[in-house]
């Protein structure tokens, strides 16, 4: 339709609603001269009649009409969602104009105004509608390609829904959420899901990978700095807590922050305000804080790497994200879903997964979780020409390497003969612990769940403080 500097309104359909006959005729004539298809109405009732017959691109609406307030057309739903509303109000009617914006009007004009402004206002309103629709489409697209719960994660979905319900009741000062799970299991995606489905979806979400923040920059990045606070502080810098005010701040891999920064994060959560480096003023922040970790934070507390008081503060709404290998046949459903998306992205025909390929996907341990699965699928699409995928590479390299089934002399191999080989149960237990830890990315709690033992059992084995034969 052209840019905002274009004076042509060709292709626009506009309804002008105003009881001042001279002004209404003047506006209609001017808009028609610019190429618009224009109609007029002088009362609410006449406007309702025209809006019921025709869907207009824009409604140019006076607030005060002989038979009521023009905003009633918006309140009662007479105006289509596809019709942009620009309100006209007399001097001193700013309060009504503000209310109209709150009801969904795109802009307002204070009478008397120059009709030459109308093309600028209309194009600006059109751009606002387009931007809004693009944002809506992006959210819908993200929902379609977002986290896949499946049947195995139904309890997780129910827990998330309960958090959203609590958020909707509270609105302000939302409690923190802690997401624990292995690398690649979808922690960032869950954080985005919570933000996108919660009451702050239209506010900013800022994501920070704490492991990528050097200690020397972490405080300035998170809390900001005043001009001259340190050598390179040439201007006042807003921190990410401030930037996320009213929205969500996601701190991924939070154990990577130094104890000093952890202390400042704790203060920000408890006091709901921050102070920039070099500043004296307390700045109020209302931030929904979501944190994530692939480590057991209780182990990190025990080793002195993480503050216990911060753990207690963060660990209110806890989400434990199971690894991919714990999701049963949902692995296959997720693989097929990802495969369709990847084929669309690469503009390739959809490929099918063979029965043998499905068996290999189920047998593989997926130490890299969903991220590894997506990469395996994409590699197959790019480097293999077959119309079907059997993932033979998994059985020849990954699965055997991870399971430890290297040869028949290895007791993890199904063909191992216990009657012919010397077998030491104590060594086998220790090895199983190491295999579980490797597959869980060093997460002791996850390893314990795999083996059906307590976390203390894993730590007991790791520290080697047991007696021989125990």
CATH architecture of residue range(s) 13-137: 3-Layer(aba) Sandwich (3.40)
In this chain, the answer to whether the domains covering 145-322 and 408-470 adopt an identical fold is: no
Q: How high is the pLDDT of residue 144?
A: 39
Give the integer Cα–Cα distance in Å for 73 and 438. Answer: 64
The CATH code of the domain at 408-470 is 1.10.10.60
The pLDDT, as a whole number, for residue 193 is 94
Contacts of 5 (CB under 8 A, 6+ apart): 120, 123
Give the start-to-end residue ranges of the domains of the chain. Answer: 13-137, 145-322, 408-470
Are the beta carbons of 441 and 412 closer than 8 angstroms? no
Q: What is the pTM of this model?
A: 0.57
**pLDDT means over runs of 10, the chain (470 residues):** 56 88 92 91 93 86 90 88 83 70 84 86 72 48 59 90 94 93 91 94 90 86 81 73 91 94 94 87 89 92 93 94 89 91 89 90 88 91 87 58 44 59 76 80 79 84 54
Instruction: Look at the chain and count its residues.
Output: 470
pLDDT score for 104: 83
Q: What is the pLDDT of residues 326-335, one digit of tens each?
A: 888 899 999 9
Report the alpha-carbon distance of residue 389 to residue 295 in Å, rounded.
34
Q: In the prediction, which pLDDT does 267 show?
A: 94
Was domain 145-322 assigned CATH 3.40.50.300?
A: yes
pLDDT at 420: 59
Residue 91: the pLDDT is: 63
């Amino acid at each position: 339709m052209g840019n905002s500097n274009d004076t042509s309104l060709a292709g626009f359909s506009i309804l002008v609603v105003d009881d001042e006959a001279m002004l209404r005729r003047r506006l209609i004539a001017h808009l028609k001269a610019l190429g618009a298809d224009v109609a007029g109405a002088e009362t609410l009732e006449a406007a309702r009649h025209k809006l019921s017959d025709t869907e207009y691109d824009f409604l140019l609406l006076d607030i005060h009409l002989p038979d009521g307030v023009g905003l009633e057309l918006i309140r009662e739903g007479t105006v289509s969602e596809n019709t942009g509303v620009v309100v006209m109000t007399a001097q001193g009617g700013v309060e009504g104009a503000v209310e109209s914006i709150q009801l969904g009007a795109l802009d307002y004009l204070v009478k008397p105004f120059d009709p030459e402004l109308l093309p600028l206002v209309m194009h600006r309103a059109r751009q606002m509608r387009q931007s809004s629709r693009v944002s809506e489409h992006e959210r819908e697209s993200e929902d379609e390609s977002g986290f896949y719960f499946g049947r195995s994660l139904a309890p997780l979905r129910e827990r998330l829904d309960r958090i959203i319900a609590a958020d909707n009741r509270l609105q302000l000062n939302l409690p923190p959420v802690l997401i624990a799970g292995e690398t690649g299991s979808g922690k960032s995606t869950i954080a985005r899901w919570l933000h996108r489905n919660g009451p702050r979806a239209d506010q900013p979400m800022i994501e920070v990978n704490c492991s990528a923040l050097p200690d020397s920059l972490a405080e300035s990045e998170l809390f900001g700095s005043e001009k001259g606070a340190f050598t390179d502080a040439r201007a006042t810098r807003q921190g990410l807590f401030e930037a996320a005010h009213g929205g969500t701040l996601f701190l991924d891999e939070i154990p990577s922050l130094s104890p000093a920064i952890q202390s400042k994060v704790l203060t920000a959560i408890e006091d709901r305000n921050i102070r920039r480096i070099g500043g004296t003023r307390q700045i109020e922040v209302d931030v929904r804080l979501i944190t994530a970790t692939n480590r057991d934070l209780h182990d990190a507390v025990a080793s002195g790497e993480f503050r216990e008081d911060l753990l207690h503060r963060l660990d209110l709404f806890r989400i434990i994200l199971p690894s991919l290998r714990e999701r049963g046949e949902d692995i296959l459903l997720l693989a097929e879903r990802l495969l369709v998306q990847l084929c669309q992205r690469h503009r390739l025909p959809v490929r099918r997964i063979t029965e043998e390929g499905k068996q290999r996907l189920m047998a593989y341990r997926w130490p890299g979780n969903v991220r590894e699965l997506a990469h395996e699928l994409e590699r197959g699409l790019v480097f293999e020409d077959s119309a079907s995928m059997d993932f033979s590479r998994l059985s020849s390299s990954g699965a055997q390497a991870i399971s430890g089934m290297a040869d028949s002399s290895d007791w993890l191999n199904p063909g191992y003969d216990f009657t012919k080989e010397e077998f030491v149960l104590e060594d086998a237990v220790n090895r199983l612990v190491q295999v579980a830890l490797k597959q869980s990315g060093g997460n002791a709690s996850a390893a314990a769940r795999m083996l059906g033992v307590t976390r203390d059992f894993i730590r007991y084995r790791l520290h080697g403080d047991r007696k021989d034969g125990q």
